[in-house]
Amino acid sequence: MFLGSDAISLPLLHWLVGPEGSALVELTAIYTQPDRPVGRGQKIQANAIKQWALARGLPVHQPEKLTPEVRAAYAASAPELALVMAYGHILRDDFIAAAPLGTLNFHASLLPKYRGASPIQTSVANGEAETGVSLMRIVRQLDAGPVADREAVRIDPLDTALEIEQKLAAACVPLLARALPCLLAGQLAFVEQDHAAATFCRKLTKDDAALDFTAAPAAALAARINGLNPWPAAQVEWQGQPLKFGLADAIEGSAAPGLVAGADAEGLLIGTAAGLLRIRRLQKPGGKMLPAADFLRGSPIAPGTVFASRPMAPLVGPVPFPVARASRP
Residue 39 has pLDDT above 80, yes or no: no
Residue 328 has pLDDT above 50, yes or no: no
Q: What is the mean pLDDT of residues 52-64?
A: 97
Q: Residue 255's Cα: distance from chain center in Å?
A: 33
Q: Which residues pair with 45 in a beta bridge?
A: 36
With 0-12 CB in 10 A as exposed, 13-18 as middle and 19+ as buried, what is 325? exposed
CATH number 3.40.50.1220 given to 211-298: no
Residue 325 has pLDDT above 50, yes or no: no
Confidence category of residue 323, pLDDT binned at 50, 70, 90: low
- Tell me the per-residue pLDDT of 140-193, one tens digit each, with 9 for 90 and over: 899 999 999 999 999 999 999 999 999 999 999 999 999 999 999 999 999 999
- Distant-in-sequence, close-in-space partners of 190: CB < 8 Å, separation ≥ 6: 136, 137, 145, 146, 147, 148
d(CA 109, CA 185): 26
- Tell me the per-residue pLDDT of 93-131, one tens digit each, with 9 for 90 and over: 999 999 999 999 999 999 999 999 999 999 999 999 999
Residue 49 has pLDDT above 90, yes or no: yes
| CATH class, range 2-200 | alpha beta
Residue 221 has pLDDT above 90, yes or no: yes
Task: Give the pLDDT of residue 38.
Answer: 84
Q: Is the four-CA dihedral 306, 310, 316, 318 of positive or negative sign? A: positive
CB 50 within 8 A of CB 30: yes
Task: Give the pLDDT of residue 110.
Answer: 98
Task: Give the pLDDT of residue 329.
Answer: 32
d(CA 207, CA 217): 20
The residue among 197, 119, 178, 169 whose CA lies nearest residue 12 is 169
Q: Amino acid identity, residue 304?
A: G
Q: What is the mean pLDDT of residues 226-246?
A: 97
Q: Amino acid identity, residue 110?
A: L
CB 49 within 8 A of CB 6: yes
Residue 40 has pLDDT above 90, yes or no: no
DSSP state of 322: P
Q: How many CB atoms lie within 10 A of CB 170?
A: 15
Q: What is the mean pLDDT of residues 51-76?
A: 96
Task: Give the pLDDT of residue 27.
Answer: 96
Task: Give the pLDDT of residue 161.
Answer: 98
The residue among 140, 25, 131, 8 whose CA lies nearest residue 81 is 25
The residue among 258, 266, 252, 244 whose CA lies nearest residue 219 is 252
Where along the chain do its domains lie? 2-200, 211-298
Residue 262 has pLDDT above 60, yes or no: yes
